[in-house]
Amino acid sequence: MGATEPQWVLMATGRSPTNIAVIKYWGKRDEALILPVNDSISVTLDPDHLSATTTVAASPAFPSDRMWLNGKEISLSGGRFQSCLREIRKRARDVDDEKKGIKIKKEDWEKLHVHIASYNNFPTAAGLASSAAGLACLVFTLGKLMNVNEDYGELSSIARQGSGSACRSIYGGFVKWCMGKNDDGSDSMAVQLVNESHWDDLVIIIAVVSSKQKETSSTSGMRDTVETSPLLQYRAQTVVPSRILKMEDAIKNRDFESFARLTCADSNQFHAVCLDTSPPIFYMNDTSHRIISLVEKWNHSEGTPQVAYTFDAGPNAVLIARNRKTATLLLQRLLYTFPPQENDLDSYMLGDKSILSDAGL
Ligand code: DP6
């Protein structure tokens, strides 16, 4: 690769969906390596709805690494991006693209710079988790570009260093992030529990309660919780381990009743732990609480759960209906309780892919 050689650009594009945790990750035992205090389980959404699409390009003409998110340049100086880039570069292999006449030796990747362009197919302002999809996609696509061995466990471990929840978006279906025991994080990675076709009755609906950016980021919120919440230790050491086993069984057996009870209980405990933080963190608002009541009353009146709810670090509700029929009833109930003119739910439009998401499981 000398200055006299013709310039070239090698590109790769990938797409990763976001995921929603049904047993939450909250709290790190190692901030730099992003090692969690407990295992977590999530469901990966259908990529047609909430996903990131990333194109990465390498060329000897690029003087530095650069990245654009939704068309706007962002800084790559953060430690997390750098960790992902470093780990992928370490594993880069020779590339021999005969069609384009491009040959890259694995040692050349250390000197080659990359340009990264990433787009979310949902409004970033909607306050829906985008880092999981974005970082998973970045790692996956860089891996493709640099011909890294497609070991999903290892890719997930690298994505983890970009954002914890991103490690679960490497797979579809239901996914477990095993916290691991090693201090170097080598065994902290995600595994697929079942693929996307295992439980294809489920329908996921996301009700956007507020499109405002959250006040406390997950990263700083969980740091405060680790430092101040006495409840977190009990959750991580006593509650979550047994919940993980029960959730794995519920998923394996498509047992919606257990699945819904565990999902709702874990969301509620996660928010209890936030409240137990000093100063307390309030991610849900009155509308979120009204949605919980609506679902709880409905489930109680049916005698068996029809819908599960879960809330991440914000007020938006993720509702999981047991099947399409229940999802239709749920939408009717939501529209009845929150008529669009009330403007309580910021943007509540049927069929809008940004808020109505079918897991396609
Ligand atoms: C509430 O993965 O965004 O969504 O690792 O600091 O980047 P960092 O945090 P992040 O936290 C997600 C927290 C959560 C629960 C979950 O997805 O398990």
Q: How many CA atoms lie within 13 A of 129 on its CB side?
A: 28
Backbone angles phi, psi at 78, to 5 degrees: -60, 145
Question: For the segment 185-214, what is each residue's pLDDT rounded down to a tens digit?
Answer: 999 999 999 999 999 999 999 998 876 767
> What is the spatial distance between Cα 46 and Cα 23, in angstroms, rounded to a whole number?
19
Q: Is the CB of 218 under 6 A from ligand 1?
A: yes
State the ipTM, two decimals: 0.99
If one residue of 24, 169, 177, 218 were mutated to test the ligand 1 pocket, choosing by the most ligand atoms within 8 A of its CB, it would be 218
Ligand 1 centroid to residue 185 C-alpha, Å: 17
Question: For the segment 144-184, what is each residue's pLDDT rounded down to a tens digit?
Answer: 999 999 899 999 999 999 999 999 999 999 999 999 999 99
Q: Is the CB of 311 under 6 A from ligand 1?
A: no
Question: For the segment 271-305, what is each residue's pLDDT rounded down to a tens digit?
Answer: 999 999 999 999 999 999 999 999 999 999 999 99
Token pair belonging to 302: 């049916």
Q: Is the CB of 37 under 6 A from ligand 1?
A: no
Token pair belonging to 300: 């109680």
Residue nearest to atom 7 of ligand 1 (CA): 163
Ligand 1 centroid to residue 164 C-alpha, Å: 6
At residue 78, the pLDDT reads 84
Q: For the whole model, what pTM was predicted?
A: 0.92
207 within 8 A of 348, measured Cβ to Cβ: yes
Spatial strand order of the sheet with 317-321 comes to 203-207, 317-321, 307-310
If one residue of 16, 22, 25, 40 were mutated to test the ligand 1 pocket, choosing by the most ligand atoms within 8 A of its CB, it would be 25
Query: Taking 70 as the threshold, does the pLDDT of residue 125 lie above it?
Result: no
- 110 DSSP 8-state letter: G
* Residue 301 buriedness (CB in 10 A; 0-12 / 13-18 / 19+): exposed
353 within 8 A of 40, measured Cβ to Cβ: no
